[in-house]
């Protein structure tokens, strides 16, 4: 807890002091002692007001709960603040929670609240990890002459992740088998659920005996789990500093669209049955999607903190051979000289999305086997234009 630097007197309190000084001067000029008494009364009231708000010792604890672990850009969530104030008396005033520019919300109200809990909505505006707090309590004396603001508690971080946009299915444009998972059987130990029987081996749990298969074959059979594996897909987001606006110019809408597109495409491919690797233009792995519950959140958190930096490497080096499934590259400002972006290494389905490509890049990409489109704020439309079936004979379609 700490007192914030704010003038101790309200506008009314300053007016009372000024009026007291004027009465004192007027009393000497017009020889009216009554004005001196009035001035002294104003001074005493002002001093009493300051003492009333600053003398009481106050301390408190603050805990915050956000209704969602990860706040998506454009999504509304609710914050519940439990504020335990220790003081001689419960003050009446106004509270507000300090919010970063990346989050909007009506984080203020009257204190004490009727419910005992301070609640307010917040909406994600810009991705990143941002501090919320501290809690500010502003109290004013009964005469409205003095005021006091105090900050209570520490900050709590809120992670704002990029928006995930629904996309058209890739399988419908490339082939129904594109993302269909295939199975590979392997023997697993005790505790696995079975999908097919196999012969009993020493160490298998009796609970896993497949009694129907045992009766049919006349020998002990146990349940065997079939592991599912999926075709691989690679999503590359080009974060090379030269592709995007300079960091000192503020938020780059093109890069924000690229990050949102990266999250949307990666999660979309995962739902179509692919094992997805998300890497940046330097070859660093940002996230992987293998069907685990935490994969999605880990990828979104990593993308929430992504920023342009460094130089781009040759795409073939990043991919490391021929990708077995779709290869999606998301980039920014590219020209005809950026040949490294167009080396897809023989991928079966290479898709290129660029926010600011030179006209000849689309033609060159088409000649190299890419399907491509300009990435705009309408990520869903850009994705559909880049799908293989949507490609024009002379090159990728560019949204107007």
Q: Identify the structural domains of the chain with CATH numbers, from first to last.
A: 1-161 (2.60.40.10), 182-229 (no CATH), 232-390 (3.40.50.410)
CA 328 vs CA 30, 175, 186, 226: distances in Å: 88, 17, 32, 30
CB 284 within 8 A of CB 292: no
pLDDT tens over the chain, length 400 residues: 444 457 899 999 999 999 999 999 999 898 888 999 999 999 999 999 999 999 888 899 999 999 988 999 999 999 999 999 988 777 889 999 999 999 999 999 999 887 789 999 999 999 999 999 999 999 999 889 999 999 999 999 999 999 999 999 986 555 433 444 433 333 333 333 434 677 777 666 666 777 777 766 777 777 765 444 456 899 999 999 999 998 778 889 999 999 999 999 999 999 998 999 999 988 899 999 988 878 999 999 999 999 999 888 888 778 776 666 899 999 999 987 776 677 777 777 899 999 999 888 888 888 888 899 999 999 999 999 999 864 433 344 444 3
């Amino acid at each position: 807890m700490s007192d914030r630097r704010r003038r101790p007197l309200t506008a009314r309190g300053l007016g009372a002091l000024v009026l007291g000084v004027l009465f004192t001067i007027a009393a000497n000029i017009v020889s009216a002692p009554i004005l001196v008494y009035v001035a002294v009364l104003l001074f005493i009231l002002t001093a009493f007001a300051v003492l009333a708000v600053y003398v009481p010792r106050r301390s408190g604890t603050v805990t915050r709960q956000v209704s969602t672990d990860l706040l998506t850009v454009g999504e509304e969530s609710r914050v519940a603040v439990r504020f335990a104030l220790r003081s001689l008396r419960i003050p009446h005033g106004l509270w507000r929670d300090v919010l970063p520019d990346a989050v909007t919300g009506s984080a203020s109200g009257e204190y004490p609240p009727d419910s005992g809990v301070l609640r307010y909505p917040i909406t994600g505006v810009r991705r990143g990890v941002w501090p919320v707090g501290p809690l500010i309590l502003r109290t004013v004396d009964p005469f409205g002459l003095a005021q006091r603001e105090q900050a209570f508690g520490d900050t709590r971080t809120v992670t704002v992740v990029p928006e995930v946009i629904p996309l058209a299915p890739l399988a419908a444009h490339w082939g129904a088998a594109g993302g269909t998972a295939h199975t590979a059987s392997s023997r697993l130990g005790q505790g696995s659920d079975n999908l097919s029987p196999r012969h009993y081996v020493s160490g298998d749990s009796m609970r896993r005996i497949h009694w129907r298969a045992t009766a049919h074959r006349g020998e002990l059979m146990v349940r065997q789990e079939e592991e599912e594996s999926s075709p691989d897909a690679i999503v590359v987001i080009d974060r090379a500093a030269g592709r995007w606006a300079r960091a000192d110019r503020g938020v780059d809408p093109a890069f924000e669209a690229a990050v949102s597109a990266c999250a949307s495409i990666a999660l979309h491919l995962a739902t179509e049955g692919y094992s997805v690797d998300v890497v940046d233009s330097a070859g660093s792995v940002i996230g992987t999607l293998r069907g685990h519950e935490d994969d999605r959140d880990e990828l979104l958190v990593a993308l929430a903190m992504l920023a342009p930096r460094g130089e781009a490497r040759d795409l073939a080096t990043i991919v490391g051979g021929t990708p077995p499934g779709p290869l999606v590259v998301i980039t920014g400002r590219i020209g005809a000289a950026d040949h490294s972006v167009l080396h897809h290494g023989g991928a079966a389905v290479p898709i290129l999305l660029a926010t600011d490509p030179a006209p000849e890049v689309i033609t060159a990409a088409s000649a190299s086997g890419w399907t491509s489109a300009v990435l705009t704020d309408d990520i869903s439309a850009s994705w559909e234009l880049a799908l293989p079936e949507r490609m024009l004979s002379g090159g990728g379609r560019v949204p107007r």
